[in-house]
Structure 1
Amino acid sequence: METLTVALGSREYPILVGQGILENGGLLLPFLRSPKIAIVTNTTVAPLYLERFSTPLRNAGIDIAEIILPDGEQHKNWQTLNTIFDVLLERRCERSSTLIGLGGGVIGDMAGFAAACYQRGMPFIQVPTTLLSQVDSSVGGKTAINHPLGKNMIGAFYQPKLVLADTDCLNTLPDRELLAGLAEVIKYGLIRDLPFLVWLEANLERLLEREPRALEYAICRSCANKAEVVVADEHERGERALLNLGHTFGHAIETGMGYGKWLHGEAVAAGTMMAAELSRQLGWIDLDDLKRIENLFERAGLPVFGPAMGADRYLELMQHDKKVQDGKLRLVLLKQIGQAVVSDMASPTEIGKAITSRSTDV
């Protein structure tokens, strides 16, 4: 088992990464403030891992409320969030009770937002079960739900007490979900860790084959990158925005196509290609750089073109992005591979050109 730390002073917390740690209830017990907890999961994860995860805790005398939600991005909304609150109230969970998110990014985001709101804040633990959530969404305290007009527009910064990432959970992950998670892994190499990107280019097949040592390395390296950024800029006033490479375009895809049609990582991959194309147009990277990025995404089985919704529709949706400042769209772009920047230099015409060149009906 590897242990990393998100060093936020008095709110510091560990990230535990390893094989077979899901069933080790002893890892969680020191982080529980009361003998009552609530576990939020979904209809896909519950049959696979809920009993295995909860049995050791029950054997240790923990009273558990189980909250099983429908699966899918389309359920990341107020109605589903209220289901969590209903059970917390019905079971008389207290402010000292711990809420645990057992699942992927949707579950982690909703459970974290519920924990931030319930009685104005209750302890929260992330137990991510997908690659995307293990390398990205479970770390850093971003919690949110979607709105019909924009993804993740309603939420809170709320840090967990612990992140427990069992790489064995990835053995049951559908191929499409595994590939979607790789988009976020590749992102770290593109924005700030060129040696990691070189490692990914050399070891991608090991990840696709779910080799445990390769997965553990990629998860730890990704989490280490994210932890450094979060510590430097917890509330995304500067450097943390760089973690959103491809996300402004990608969120437009998710919202415009209907939540759940494109997986988050798929939309981020296509969005990253749009950002890379725009970076090329601005003269920051060249065609060889663009092809290098495209090749890695293609090898990872990820889309390198977004859906042809039309540049105007993309731009309309992108105006709801959280990086819009004083009405001006700010995008994460690449000064070079391994170095991202937040820029408002591109005009709507230039952005539209990049969108059109990297979108297709196919």
Structure 2
Amino acid sequence: MSKKAKPHIYNRAGKRVQVQDKTWYAVQADGEAAERVIEIFVYGEIGAWGVTANQFVQDLRAMDDGVSPVIAAFNSIGGDLFDGLAIHNALSRLGERCTGRVDALAASAASVAVCGAHRVVIAANAMLMIHNPSTYTGGDAEDFRRVADVLDQTLEAIIAAYKSKAPDVDEAELRRLVDAETWLTASEAVALGLADEVGDGVKVKACLGQGWVMQRFQNAPADLLAQLDEPPEADPDDPPLVPPAPVVDSTRLALMITQSCTQAGISNLIEPLIKVTKLVDEATVQAALTRARAVNDLCVAARFPEATVGFVSAGLDVDAVRGRLFDKLVGSGKGFEIDNSLPLQDDPALKVQAKQPDPPSIWAARKGAQVGQTSSSKGA
């Protein structure tokens, strides 16, 4: 490398990386010519709900000059396994000029992705989590057997990804740790071979508003789960959705909704937003606009854009919409998607509904039997 990366490269980014919808993803270059360093921040879920492999690879190709050092920084709870594998391979192809950095958390598919880097530096206060793949599916016994076989095959892909980073690791021990859902500290990750160096600790929240996802894991550390109860932090540098202006009447509020929706490309939500906010005040309108934009992004990602108007009209928040979209995806019968995020432990079990008695039918049957007995007696 012509220029050695500093440990605090996160803090010397050329410009502040903007946070949008609690998913932080940016590709930027610092410096010129031979001193140029390309930084990739993957701060959020990997897959359709956050950073897809296609987006990652295309953005990297557009920025990469083939010679500059590349630093891929991760703070992610994971997500889609195959997107994680694709990112892993993209980093691996960069060779020795690629450094992976775990700033707070590289869990699940994110741990697979970061291990594609030639050199991995994990912050002293960061963690790396490895576990078995899992998925949601439905169907008959043969369907479940087929999915089980696929999960066994994808586990081998995960093991291969880790062994590419730590070729000398004891495979039996690695499989035991993966099966047990193991949360590795920085020193433990280095000892296992999945990281090369413990770097300086950087104060970065490990969940970035996605703390609710931590409930899916069985052995999540208590300090990470504690973030579930922390209120979201407002960033004073984030630009407002619309320029602040004194609003004195409902006409101004309606105009605010119209302009903001038009600018964001969601004009179909103007009428639902006016109805759901009732143009009470500016704070209500601003909150509804932010929520509508996030809901629209989720629906587009799930390929159900037609559902956006209904969700916004009902005033649903992002978590409620996420749940309904998941139900739509599972119920569509379009197959299953491998995802190494675990289901919530308290997911209710499917209940077998007993057939309810039909009193009119029972009464009619009894009455018919009595009439038949009476006729038989008379004939005798």
The alignment's TM-score, normalised by the length of structure 2, stands at 0.31
- Mark the structure with the bigger radius of gyration: 2
Bigger fraction of residues in strand: 1
